[in-house]
């Protein structure tokens, strides 16, 4: 990708990664493996710091709801977003995700403070 040179700057000090993809495009299924590898595994971030969002366009086939992803993507939290049907659902999932990231950040800061003290 032509933006690959920017990736290190994007990744620096990041605490979470949200990958949004179109589950109806086979090419996206391959690409999300690459994004996961670069932005999560190589950082390294915990799987709990990554959120996958399968975004369904209005009027798209809904049978991708039972999307089965291959390892290691199947370990990640996956939400389906369909802003026509249930925008509130998606909002609640985002809030849960951000809360979990804040918890992880607080825990790692406490660990750092403890290591400085001891």
How do residues 31-53 score in pLDDT, each as one tens digit?
999 999 989 998 889 999 999 99
89 part of a folded domain: yes
Question: Is the separation of the CB atoms in 73 and 52 below 8 Å?
Answer: yes
Could you list the residue range(s) of the whole structural domain that residue 38 is in? Answer: 7-117
2 part of a folded domain: no
Count: domains in the chain? 1
What's the CATH number where 15 sits? 3.40.50
43 part of a folded domain: yes
Q: Averaged over 114-118, what is the pLDDT? A: 88
How do residues 74-110 score in pLDDT, each as one tens digit?
999 999 988 787 788 899 999 999 999 999 999 999 9
pLDDT band (50, 70, 90) for residue 2: low
Which strands make up the sheet holding 77-81, listed edge to edge? 17-21, 50-55, 77-81
pTM: predicted TM-score of the whole model, two decimal places = 0.82
74 part of a folded domain: yes
1 part of a folded domain: no
């Amino acid at each position: 990708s032509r933006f690959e040179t920017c990736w290190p700057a994007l990744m620096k000090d990041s605490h979470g990664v949200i990958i949004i993809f179109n589950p109806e495009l086979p090419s996206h299924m391959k690409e999300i493996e690459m994004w996961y590898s670069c932005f999560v595994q190589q950082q390294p971030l915990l799987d709990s710091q990554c959120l996958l969002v399968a975004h369904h366009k209005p009027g798209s086939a809904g049978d991708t709801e039972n999307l089965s992803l291959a390892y290691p993507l199947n370990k990640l939290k996956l939400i389906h977003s369909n802003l026509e049907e249930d925008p509130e659902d998606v909002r609640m999932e985002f809030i849960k995700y951000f809360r979990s990231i804040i918890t992880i950040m607080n825990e790692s800061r406490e660990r750092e403070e403890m290591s400085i003290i001891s």
